[in-house]
Amino acid sequence: MTGEKNQWSRRRFLKATGTAGLGALMAPVNRLATAAETPTRVPTRPFGKTGVDVPILSLGGMFNIASNQLMMRQAMRWGVTYWDTADCYQRGSEKGIGKFFDKYPQDRQKVFLVSKSDARDPDGMIKLLNRSLKRMNTNYIDLYFLHSVKRIGELDDEIKSWADKQKAAGKIRFFGFSTHRNMEECLLAGAKLDWIDGIMMTYNYRLMHTKGMKRAVDACVKAGIGLTAMKTQGGGSVRTDTDTEIEMAGRFLEKGFTDAQAKLRAVWQNPNIASICSQMPNMSILMSNIAAAVDKTELSVRDTQLLKRYAQETQSDYCTGCTNICQSAIKENIPIGDVMRYLMYCRSYGDRHYAMSEFNKIPEKIRIRLAKTDYSNAEQRCPQKMAIGRLMKEAIQELS
Ligand code: SF4
């Protein structure tokens, strides 16, 4: 992939798509024909020391890709050529990508393809890697992640040898990990491993300004590790019922952004983030995100301050994944961070189906203990002041 120069401003993009404003991004799909003819391309950034330039917007593949082939085609045209999936993503994510490459084999080389392994042992990992390759109709994956790493000890010498072997065999080009838990620690320690090429981590306007996260990102950049941000919406849309939210909404509207677009722009303002991985299960979200990606309007200091203030005012609504704090404060082995994430999928992303399927993978005996455990110590230590006990009970009601 080359760093094709962005030729179109966001406003021209909107004009080209026949839309007059953000509301019109909900336009019927047939109106996209005009956009398909435009030279609009998402800008690119270097991905660490890999030598690859990736689009700053990547397509999170946790949706029914098989039924959205036209949208994938359009994503290609707009330069969204970094696709992220995982062996465990449901709704035929990998198979949908395979269907696409079956029909458009010439596009395979244009895509920076990422998949992930839930297994932690070499035998399990090779089985999953081979299955992913078969499902996706390809003989290599550009970047292969160990999925959802919670502590750096998971990346041991055995995993390193495995990654080296698969690189030598040409099955993967680069290796790294994704992390939703204890991100700062995982990034800092990952930066010390010279065999890690890329990391995808939860990163958004709530987390990006902390000293710990800044230090962790700097360490990875210094080590030449490519960074992809995920969960950039920081827990869903603003509710627009406090002074901060109303002021923020007004300012963003003046700039022509929705709050979702402003949150993307906040992350892109850090040039060290190579790409944002965003779930874009339909054309409206894809277009809205592309519109934000091609815009050159910077958020002002005041905009950033407002986002920070909003993050502070709503901190008890957002779990930052620092599970080493809360889970070590209770006697029971309860995956608090995982349950918080499933609640977020359900409440903020509206993906109840996925949230329920993941929640119900928690062994039954642990789910039973969820409601009975005393979380008072954990609540006292939680930096976000989350009502952990209440949320665990609500998770049982909503997701069982
Ligand atoms: S519940 Fe609190 S302490 Fe636990 S992971 Fe979330 S933010 Fe961190």
- Protein residue with least CA distance to atom 3, ligand 1: 382
**What pLDDT, on the 0 to 100 scale, is given for residue 280?**
93
Would you say the CB of residue 388 lies under 6 angstroms from ligand 1? yes
Would you say the CB of residue 329 lies under 6 angstroms from ligand 1? no
CB-based contacts of 378, cutoff 8 Å, min separation 6: 325, 326, 327, 329, 330, 336, 388
Pick from 257, 243, 187: nearest CA to 220:
187
Nearest ligand 1 atom to the CA of 384 is: 7
Pick from 179, 146, 178: nearest CA to 162:
146
Would you say the CB of residue 340 lies under 6 angstroms from ligand 1? yes
Would you say the CB of residue 207 lies under 6 angstroms from ligand 1? no
- Protein residue with least CA distance to atom 6, ligand 1: 319
Total-model pTM: 0.87
Would you say the CB of residue 202 lies under 6 angstroms from ligand 1? no
Residue 296, exposed/middle/buried by CB under 10 A (0-12, 13-18, 19+)?
exposed
Would you say the CB of residue 343 lies under 6 angstroms from ligand 1? no
How remote is the CA of residue 78 from the centroid of ligand 1, in Å? Answer: 38
Q: How far apart are CA 158 and CA 147, in angstroms?
A: 16
Length reported for the chain: 400
- Protein residue with least CA distance to atom 7, ligand 1: 319
Q: How far apart are CA 31 and CA 296, in angstroms?
A: 25
Nearest ligand 1 atom to the CA of 320 is: 7
Q: How far apart are CA 400 and CA 394, in angstroms?
A: 10
CA distances in angstroms from 308 to 120, 216, 313, 327, listed in the order given: 37, 19, 9, 27
**What pLDDT, on the 0 to 100 scale, is given for residue 54?**
98
**What pLDDT, on the 0 to 100 scale, is given for residue 296?**
87
**What pLDDT, on the 0 to 100 scale, is given for residue 14?**
46
Substitution site in 388, 392, 394 for ligand 1 pocket (most atoms within 8 Å of beta carbon): 388
How remote is the CA of residue 97 from the centroid of ligand 1, in Å? Answer: 35
Q: How far apart are CA 249 and CA 22, in angstroms?
A: 13
Q: How far apart are CA 150 and CA 322, in angstroms?
A: 10
How remote is the CA of residue 206 from the centroid of ligand 1, in Å? Answer: 14
Q: Residue 279 — φ and ψ, nearest 5°?
A: -70, 120
- Give the burial string for 343-358 (b: 16+ CB within 10 Å, else e): bbbbbbbebeebbbeb
How remote is the CA of residue 204 from the centroid of ligand 1, in Å? Answer: 16
How would you write the pLDDT of the chain (400 residues) with one tens digit per residue? 433 434 444 444 444 444 434 443 433 333 333 444 455 899 999 999 999 999 999 999 988 999 999 999 999 999 999 999 999 887 789 999 999 999 999 999 999 999 999 999 999 999 999 999 999 999 999 999 999 999 999 999 999 999 999 999 999 999 999 999 999 999 999 999 999 999 999 999 999 999 999 999 999 999 999 999 999 998 766 666 788 888 888 888 888 888 899 999 999 999 999 999 999 999 999 999 999 999 988 899 999 999 999 999 999 989 999 999 999 999 888 999 999 999 988 988 788 988 999 999 999 999 999 989 999 999 999 999 999 999 999 999 999 8
- Are the C-beta atoms of 62 and 102 separated by less than 8 Å? no
How remote is the CA of residue 379 from the centroid of ligand 1, in Å? Answer: 8
Q: Taking CA 298 as the corner, what is the angle to CA 297 and CA 304, rounded to the nearest 5 degrees?
A: 140
**What pLDDT, on the 0 to 100 scale, is given for residue 239?**
65
**What pLDDT, on the 0 to 100 scale, is given for residue 271?**
97
